[in-house]
């Protein structure tokens, strides 16, 4: 068939020319639900901690009662036994939470990564070559791993919130004035964590291309393919000098972030310390006025310390969770912004044995460029079944024309016909299957020759 020349690359170009993972696929179609077990286990842990804190008060009341110490210990035994049981329940709940967390994380990462790759494969080549879209791709590639980490952060946030709620609840039972003081202690640290995370994310967005360029320069120094040219032409010192300059500029940016983070943390720590001092002054005032017993005050001190530890953990996890959520947002943006740039599916069928490819008055200009278009009113006829060479100087549009013939680019005006069928209305994926392209800067696969030869293609059955 004359069309085999097109199918097998007879046209030669010469050298020099959702929410995360769609809610984890609706929890694997409502099968295993580790997320529910995770939340349930952390809830049990929070309740166990609240019971533990209240039991501390019961033990202190028994031990501080004006009676014989032996009798006090005897009275405290039920509360001690309850604390033992509650501690065991909390340990089991933590084990269940750890298992559920570890089960859910890889599922979330897989679905998020597949979603990202699927959307990337669907978009037009022009979208991949668009600077703004590709910058978003660079950032969104971390969305899948960030989504996985957010599961762990979310679990620990739930645990910290429940622990903080348990401490606040116990303080409310001991005296209503203590609970708002504990909650007030959370505000400065929360503000500092979110502020620092936002700065780091904005810095990443501004420096992502800079970091990528520095990585490219470093790869040129160590890659074996470039080693000969680097040494013969003496460009090693040049590359190293530029890498050093780029790295030093990045160091300056990191130093700025560290300086601002230190200032923010210092201010937040000062405010947290003042609120903690105010909390203990309120507690001392309650003791001095007789509004609270010594045993209750001891339990309140334990609750405040527990709440403070939970607060530190909560702020750290919220900080990490917020930072990762920004990259997950980039992942969602890729899904949204690729919706209008996808390669269309379906279309008119192509003839089985076309006799020629007709290019009629085709004009094409790259998006965002000024001046003359890459191709301006080009017309030619390419017979199939023969070897045709496109000859021209560098930048004359040979590679661009090949990409138009393959359907990788779409002409702004004019038509390209394959066997009389306008390829603009044809099935694009069928059009791709009719061509095999080896460009002047073709991609060199890292796979061995065996899997490369055995990779299935739409035309495998014809070769």
Q: Is 114 helix (H, G, I), strand (E, B) or coil?
A: helix
The pLDDT assigned to 443 comes to 66
Would residue 17 count as lying in a domain?
A: no
Instruction: For residue 69, tell me if it sits in a domain.
Output: yes
- End of a domain among 296, 315, 341? 341
Q: Provide the domain count of the chain.
A: 2
How far apart are the C-alpha atoms of 306 and 168, rounded to whole Å?
10
How much of the chain is helix, strand and coil, in % rounded to 5? 70, 5, 20
Asked whether residue 111 is domain-assigned, the answer is: yes
Is residue 208, in this structure, part of any structural domain at all? yes
Specify the residue for token string 């509650």: 86
**413 and 333: one domain?**
no
310 & 164 share domain: yes
Phi then psi dihedrals of residue 352, to 5 deg = -70, -45
Mean pLDDT by 10 residues, the chain (463 residues): 40 38 41 56 67 64 60 70 77 75 79 83 84 78 81 78 77 77 80 84 82 82 78 83 89 91 90 84 80 72 76 78 79 81 84 87 84 86 86 84 87 88 87 81 62 49 36
Residue 324 · residue 148 · CB < 8 Å: no
Q: Are 291 and 177 in contact (CB under 8 A)?
A: no
What is the per-residue pLDDT for 266?
A: 92
CA distance 335 to 329: 10
CATH of the domain at 367: 3.40.50.300
Please give the full DSSP string across 397-424, using - where no structure is assigned.
Answer: SHHHHHHHHHTSS--SEEEEEETTEEGG
If you ran DSSP here, which 8-state letter would residue 251 be given?
Answer: H
Q: Measure the CA–CA gap between 412 and 418, rounded to whole angstroms.
A: 18
Residue 59: what pLDDT?
65
Residue where a domain stops, chosen among 324, 341, 358? 341
What is the span of the domain harbouring residue 164? 32-341
Which SS3 state, helix, strand or coil, does residue 440 take?
coil
User: What tokens does 29 get?
Assistant: 């179609």
Judge whether 227 lies within some domain: yes
Same domain for 371 and 312, yes or no, is no
- Let me know whether 172 and 265 are in one domain: yes
Q: Identify the CA nearest to 44 among candidates 95, 90, 101, 113.
A: 90
Q: State whether 157 and 210 are in the same domain.
A: yes
Domain final residue pick, 294, 310, 341: 341
User: Would 284 be classed as within a structural domain?
Assistant: yes
Distance (Å, whole) CA 389 – CA 382: 10
Residue with tokens 């669907």: 122
Q: Are 90 and 306 in contact (CB under 8 A)?
A: no
* pLDDT for position 262: 92
Do 325 and 412 fall into the same domain? no
d(CA 316, CA 189): 9
CATH number of the domain that residue 104 is part of: 1.20.1560.10
- Dihedrals phi, psi of 88, to nearest 5 degrees: -65, -40
Alpha helix (H) ranges present in 233-289? 236-289
In this prediction, residue 264 carries a pLDDT of 92
Among positive and negative, which fits the CA dihedral 229, 231, 234, 237?
positive
Are 308 and 405 within one domain?
A: no
Residues 290 and 424 grouped into a single domain:
no
Note whether 335 and 352 are same-domain residues: no
98 in any annotated domain: yes
Looking at the fold, whether 310 and 234 belong to one and the same domain comes out as: yes
> Does 242 share its domain with 180?
yes
The verdict on residue 390 lying in a domain is: yes
Residue 135 and residue 128: Cα distance in Å, rounded? 9
pTM: 0.58
Q: Are residues 97 and 145 in the same domain?
A: yes
């Amino acid at each position: 068939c004359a069309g085999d020349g097109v199918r097998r690359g007879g046209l030669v170009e010469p050298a020099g020319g959702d929410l995360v993972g769609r809610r984890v696929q609706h929890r694997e179609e409502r099968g295993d639900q580790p997320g529910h077990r995770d939340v349930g286990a952390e809830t049990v842990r929070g309740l166990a901690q609240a019971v533990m804190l209240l039991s501390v008060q019961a033990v202190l009341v028994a031990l501080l009662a004006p009676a014989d110490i032996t009798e006090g210990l005897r009275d405290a035994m039920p509360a001690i036994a309850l604390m033992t049981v509650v501690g065991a329940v909390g340990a089991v709940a933590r084990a269940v939470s750890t298992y559920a967390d570890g089960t859910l994380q890889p599922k979330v990462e897989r679905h998020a990564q597949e979603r990202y790759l699927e959307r990337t494969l669907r978009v037009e080549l022009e979208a991949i070559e668009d600077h703004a879209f590709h910058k978003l791709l660079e950032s969104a590639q971390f969305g899948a791993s960030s989504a996985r980490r957010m599961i762990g952060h979310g679990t620990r946030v739930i645990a910290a919130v429940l622990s903080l709620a348990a401490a606040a609840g116990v303080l409310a039972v001991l005296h209503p004035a203590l609970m708002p003081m504990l909650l007030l202690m959370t505000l400065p640290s929360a503000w500092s964590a979110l502020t620092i995370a936002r700065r780091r994310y904005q810095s990443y967005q501004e420096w992502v291309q800079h970091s990528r360029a520095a990585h490219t320069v470093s790869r040129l120094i160590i890659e074996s393919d470039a080693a000969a040219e680097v040494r013969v032409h003496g460009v090693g010192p040049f590359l190293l000098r530029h890498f050093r300059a780029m790295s030093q500029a990045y160091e300056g940016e990191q130093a700025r972030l560290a300086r601002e983070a230190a200032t923010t943390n210092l201010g937040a720590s000062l405010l947290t310390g003042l609120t903690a001092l105010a909390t203990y002054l309120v507690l001392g005032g309650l003791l001095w006025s007789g509004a609270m017993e010594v045993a209750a005050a001891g339990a309140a001190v334990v609750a405040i310390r527990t709440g403070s530890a939970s607060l530190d953990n909560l702020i750290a996890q919220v900080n990490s969770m917020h930072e990762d959520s920004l990259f997950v947002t980039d992942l969602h943006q890729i899904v949204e912004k690729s919706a209008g740039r996808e390669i269309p599916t379906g279309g008119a069928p192509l003839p089985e044995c076309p006799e020629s490819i007709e290019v009629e008055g085709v004009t094409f200009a790259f998006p965002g460029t000024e001046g003359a278009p890459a191709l301006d009113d080009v017309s030619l006829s390419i017979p199939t079944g023969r070897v045709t060479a496109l000859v021209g100087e560098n930048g004359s549009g040979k590679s661009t024309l090949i990409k138009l013939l393959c359907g990788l680019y779409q002409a702004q005006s004019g038509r390209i016909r394959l066997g009389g069928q306008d390829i603009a209305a044809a099935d694009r994926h069928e059009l791709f299957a009719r061509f095999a392209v080896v460009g002047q800067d073709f991609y060199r696969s890292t796979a061995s020759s065996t899997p490369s030869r055995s990779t299935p293609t739409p035309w495998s059955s014809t070769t």
